Structure 1
């Protein structure tokens, strides 16, 4: 089943749009093979507002957020998760506004334990557990701990308007990279099924435009992940023994060279999940075999 990805996002970098009731979006100019056109920073509320995902350390994005909220007060700076394209911009924004910081907690994989892209400098003043609320003037967000892409990843449900900020758990332009050890495919699938069970009318992702018809999108995303897992297992049975990177070609086909390594990381996450289910086993070195 193909995923109905949204590849058109005309919002200029630094401009602001009304994305949903009480929600505005500013796109950072940090495009890449992993961030699409850039990181979405969301302004939540009116008058006394929250910023969700201030983005990387980027003076232009800081200036754009401050310009978009001129005459208002930023009271909360929230990080959906601690990757370097989402949370490092919090420090400059807090310095400029005096806002308090909120998130699930610091990055959960130590710097010497591997993984890519972690922001180890963000330590929220207020740690938000699953099911807890973040509240401001006229708005309320309920946290859903959705590990998988990142161990401390939060989706945030906005009370009263059917919006779920899905951050990098569900993006509109591409699937999410799930890279061990901080990324975990078994966790990702459980988190995805949790979001699928909800009745949100709109998903606002960390990269790309809004998903305005979530149910078929989520169904296609789940089916795609399961099909990918079946391909991994079939390729492993065909190979006998193989490393994750050796499986990239048989599973993905031709890829942008920039994506080969992250694809191998996602395949490794699939293999670890299959190992936990008794369907794959570690072989010599970095090799794997089917059971």
Structure 2
């Protein structure tokens, strides 16, 4: 999906539906689209800030203005890449609200994204597991464990409205990067299937537009990953390849700055195929089994 023309609504508080508002952070990039979207969910009596985003003074000021006099009862994160969770700690100090959501991942990721290595300062007050929930007057936000993009990734279902906040797991503008060692392709595909079995009315991702054809998009994403897997197997049936040779063959025309991220997803596919005994490797060389 092409980037929309500027100006983007950075810093503006936009109402999406009753009890759901959105504030866009000023961290747009080829990996974050127009930026991280922080969601304010709930009412004046009890509000949750979901994915508070980067620790950026401008964004924190916009969140504070959007919160106004509302009582923040929780600051919630889908996962702990640096474009999602660093604002949780300062916002917690400002509002007195606990950080409740995904667990911490203490891993220095080798993912080649300036905005995405893990937030090693993230310290949740409470970790939510699959099916755990937060609630306030008229709303219930239930955690849906969706590992794959990261091992700690959660989506959140607003049960009263049928909305699902999908973080980086499902987005309309791009597929999610799955970067080992923490990202896992088998987990990612299982999590996609988990969402396909649901009947959510609308997805609100952390980056990019809302998604109304939810199951159709997920079905397409599963098909896309299976197509990439078949592409890898066809290449290796022809001859053994190194990862660095496979990526430009698989992603013809992709911008050079995005090729390292694509390589991470190919690596995740190879590791999954290796576990399933479909491929083997010798040093840096991969071959069909």
- Determine helix, strand or coil for the equivalent of 1:190: helix
The CA deviation at 1:236 is 2.1
TM-score normalised per structure 2: 0.94
Residues 50-89 of structure 1 aligned to structure 2 (within 5 Å): 50-89=48-87
Matched, 1:91 2:89: yes
Residue 276 of structure 1: aligned partner: 275
Residues 34-49 of structure 1 aligned to structure 2 (within 5 Å): 34-47=31-44, 48-49=46-47
Cα contact 1:115–1:181 (8 A) shared by 2: no
Residue 142 of structure 2: aligned partner: 142
Matched, 1:32 2:11: no
Q: Which residues of structure 1 form unaligned runs of 5+?
A: none
The CA deviation at 1:21 is 2.5
Residue 222 of structure 2: aligned partner: 222
Structure 1 moving runs of 4+ over 4 Å:
5-11, 113-116
TM-score normalised per structure 1: 0.93
In structure 2, C-alpha distance between the alignment counterparts of 1:16 and 1:212, rounded to whole Å: 21
Q: Which one of the candidate residues 11, 18, 28 is aligned to 2:15?
A: 18
The CA deviation at 1:37 is 0.5
**Which region of structure 1 is more displaced relative to structure 2, 35-44 or 212-221?**
212-221
Residue 200 of structure 1: aligned partner: 200
Which of 1 and 2 has higher RCO (CA within 8 Å, sep 6+)?
1
**Closer, same or farther: CA 41–6 of 1 in aligned 2, 3 Å:** farther
In structure 2, C-alpha distance between the alignment counterparts of 1:213 and 1:7, rounded to whole Å: 20
**Closer, same or farther: CA 40–163 of 1 in aligned 2, 3 Å:** same
Cα contact 1:51–1:74 (8 A) shared by 2: yes
Post-superposition Cα deviations, 1:119-159, rounded to whole Å, max 9, x if no partner, equal: 11112101101111122333211111110001000011111
The CA deviation at 1:7 is 5.3
Post-superposition Cα deviations, 1:61-102, rounded to whole Å, max 9, x if no partner, equal: 101111111121222100100100000011111111111101
How large is the RMSD of aligned CA atoms in angstroms?
A: 1.6
**Which region of structure 1 is more displaced relative to structure 2, 64-73 or 132-141?**
132-141
Q: Which residues of structure 2 form unaligned runs of 5+?
A: none
In structure 1, C-alpha distance between the alignment counterparts of 2:232 and 2:101, rounded to whole Å: 34
